[in-house]
A and B are shown apart, each in its own frame.
Chain A
Amino acid sequence: MNILEFLTSTWTFEPWVLITAFLLLITYGAASGFRFTRKTALLTAGTALMVIAVVSPLDYLGRNYLFSAHMIQHILLLLIVPLLLLLGLPESAARKALAVKPLGSIMGILGNPVIAWSLGVGSMWVWHMPSLHDAVLRNETLYIAQQISFVFIGAIFWWPVFAPVKERRLEPLRSTLYLASACLGCTVLGILITFAGAGLYAAYLSPVDSAGILPYLRNDLCLTPGVDQQIGGLTMWVPGCLIYLTASMITIAEWYGSADSGGLTSAGARSGSRESGQNLQPAER
């Protein structure tokens, strides 16, 4: 099979993916009255990326040949798709949904920064334990569970930063700290994978060449198992971190763009009205 045939023939249009995406778009359209806004664009882009990540040759490569392809899919599903979906949710609908008793309180618990952070960073670490990763590649059900968990946990991770309901978000400086520490977590894992010897994930050492492209990958693209694993680790490390960084830049930009209501208020600023009206105030403490 040459590479062009490979790229055209390995799309796996899983019905459950397409049906989920379709239902998502229809529900969204119905809820928002089929008007096309910026949020609609974000949600559509998120859904499209999700479908592409799961049905395209990327998925096939990641499951059968290349760890680096798996990592790109992982970053898409855990970091980019849920972010776009979350940003696409309209505030009013989210507010209504959160007013429903169990949902609101569940998100109150899951959206707690400590829990959301642990889930987000933890899902990277846990799913990349070599034994678990090999099990996922062998077991279809586990694989599907993993893909679904990426999107859900990704959405929970982004919730404290980009929740559609403003008052559930962290203050901008706190969310920068939240993201920077998450970046540190994924950096350490990226470093581990990058500098560990080849063969951390045994399945990629000598894949079954079901599509007949292994010579092309190994000889023409020079993707030896070592290089492949390095690309995977580095993809988590560098571009992964850049996503967190871009997100914190966005929150800071929004913060500066909004009216100054104090941000992280100091103890002094909170209790500060006692001197109002006077021109000069005694120094703090």
Chain B
Amino acid sequence: MSSRIPIVPENTEPLPRLRENEGMLSWVASVDHKQIGIMYLICCMVFFLIGGLEALLIRIQLAQPEFGFLSPEVYNQMFTMHGTTMIFFVVMPFLIGVGVYLVPLMIGARDMAFPRLNALSFWLFVFGGILIYYSFLTQSGAPDVGWFAYSPLSEKPFSLNKGPTYWALGLLATGIGSVASGLNNVVTILTMRTPGMTMRRLPLFVWMILVTSFLLIFVIPIITSAFAMMLLDRLLGATFFTPAHGGSAILWQHFFWGFGHPEVYILILPAFGIISEVIPVFSRKPIYGYEFVAGSTVAIGLLSLGVWVHHMFAVGLGDVTNLYFSFASMLIAIPTGVKVLNWVATMWGGKIIFATPMLFATAFIIEFVIGGLTGVAIASVPIDWVVTDSYFIVAHFHYALFGGSLFAIFAGVYYWFPKFTGRMMSETLGKWHFWLTVIGFNLTFFIQHFLGMMGMPRRTYTYHDFPYWGSMNLISTIGAIVLAVSVLVFVWNILQSLKRGEKAGGNPWNAWTLEWATTSPPAVHNFDLVPPVRGRRPLWDLAHPDMPDEPDAKVV
């Protein structure tokens, strides 16, 4: 025997092992992508309820002119935390989380490429969120400088409270986690696909997660380094963003929007992915123009990196700069429009089944198109100068992020809940939830377009009693209360369905992607056997060997 072989003594005692019945520890210590995914979803739900409550408080304060429900200081904290929570702790981690759960299943893998890194990402997100919310317990309260934290307001001379420091620290931690999950997704998708699952057969959801992950890797470091600079300014007396000492306040805006605009696409591309999975299944047709949906995603991803200056038209960078970016921003409408046309063409002539996921997906298309159209409008410099910092902008991005991302998230939850839990969600409660959401959402936000055109500024805690402003704001607040009820229905539906939902079986929607080929919920190792992949709809090919999608495809 060669002496080079290291001699390891045999274990006399069995190694510590986690079993299923060890309760919380089996979750906290888990590196299983499904458990981590579920934990992402639960945490997002908690943050969603908190962020929603903050929104409700904002709307109650605005229900009447000169109302004194919240003090200006608390109002500032509320709208800052509402924006921060919804973007960084609800939509983004939900989409990352659902990706973590589904990507390995959809490509026929056992787990992510780096399971421990996956757990690290998740816990950085949780603790980042806790750190930010801890600021409520400090003497000076939560951050109150807006989710954009423009300098010099966020600099020490103007914000002596600790809030913005907690804000930057918490988001710094979360941001590192996001970059890690971006890397993890890219490596997983590129290296761990089952035989036959070529890049051109990837489910569109996975494809969009791939593009989103590249965006995460490229743009999160921009804001993370900006957070570090802000912390240096606030804690160590640096002057990156204070003009009085030779820094530049506009530099912060460039960093923030250089990240902030691609971030919008980080929030919407996986949502597009969910919609691209749901619509074909419930229209009983393959997606129309797979190549265009996938290719336009790459175009959106690349374009999104170079258009952030349209958030800064009012800064005064010069007409030439504004003109170039106005043009580039409008270009994004082309690949986005291509996608909308593809979804509509998929539904066209299909046997549409309006189950709750499909209802949300259909409403998504309509609401998102409204948000997209107002987006093209404000890409035009003169229009932007009129409506910037008004409720028109609030209406615009809520149509994109609530009517867009969140509607897709609801569609995704109803669609994959049977896979996550093994039980169906109640269709009756689902329809209640859907209609209350649609009515509440449009009631809240549509009227804000008009309020904005009439000049109502955003981010102010109250307004004078101008003609119609009071009644229009009251309508908006009533909408917000309807939305709150709809969220309660949603939570009730989840809790009820977890206990008494109908048993789902492996593939309740008769869908075609690989995650439906295993049990619900999937076993720890995901698959006993992965079906052969010979086309974009492996389960269709398996069920219909006589008419596969790609008749000439070779068996791998």
Contacts and interface: CB of A to CB of B under 8 A. Distances in A.
B201 to A, nearest CB: 7
Contact of B530 (A183, A252, A280): A280
B532 A268 contact: no
A230 B528 CA distance: 60
Nearest to A276: B555
Interface residues of A, number: 46
A275 interface: yes
A265 B202 CA distance: 12
B328 to A, nearest CB: 5
A266 B320 CA distance: 46
Interface in A203-258: 226-227, 230-231, 234, 237-238, 241-242, 244-245, 248-249, 252-253, 255-256
Interface string A257-285: 00010111111110011011111111111
B110 interface: yes
B526 interface: yes
Interface string B381-416: 000000000000000000000000000000000000
Interface string B223-258: 000000000000000000000000000000000000
Interface size classification for chain B: 35 or more
A140 B70 CA distance: 71
A47 interface: no
A268 B195 contact: yes
Nearest to B200: A260
A186 to B, nearest CB: 10
A49 interface: no
A266 B295 contact: no
B303 interface: yes
B532 A231 contact: no
Interface string B195-215: 111111100000000000010
A249 to B, nearest CB: 6
Contact of B532 (A238, A244, A280): A280
A280 B192 contact: no
Contacts of A187: 305-306
A98 interface: no
A237 B196 contact: no
B194 A268 contact: yes
A173 interface: yes
Contacts of B218: 184
B108 A284 contact: yes
B321 A284 contact: no
A187 to B, nearest CB: 6
A240 B556 CA distance: 42
Nearest to B250: A195
Nearest to B319: A227
A17 interface: no
Contact of A269 (B197, B305, B528): B197
Given A263-B200, A281-B532, A283-B525, A269 B321 contact: no
Nearest to A258: B200
A277 B555 contact: yes
A64 interface: no
16 contacts: A183-B302, A234-B321, A241-B302, A249-B295, A255-B200, A260-B198, A260-B201, A264-B199, A272-B195, A272-B556, A280-B530, A281-B195, A281-B532, A282-B529, A284-B109, A284-B530
Interface of B: 108-111, 190-201, 214, 218, 291, 294-295, 298-299, 302-303, 305-306, 318, 320-321, 324-325, 327-328, 331, 525-532, 550, 553, 555-556
Interface of A: 173, 176, 180, 183-184, 187, 194, 226-227, 230-231, 234, 237-238, 241-242, 244-245, 248-249, 252-253, 255-256, 260, 262-269, 272-273, 275-285
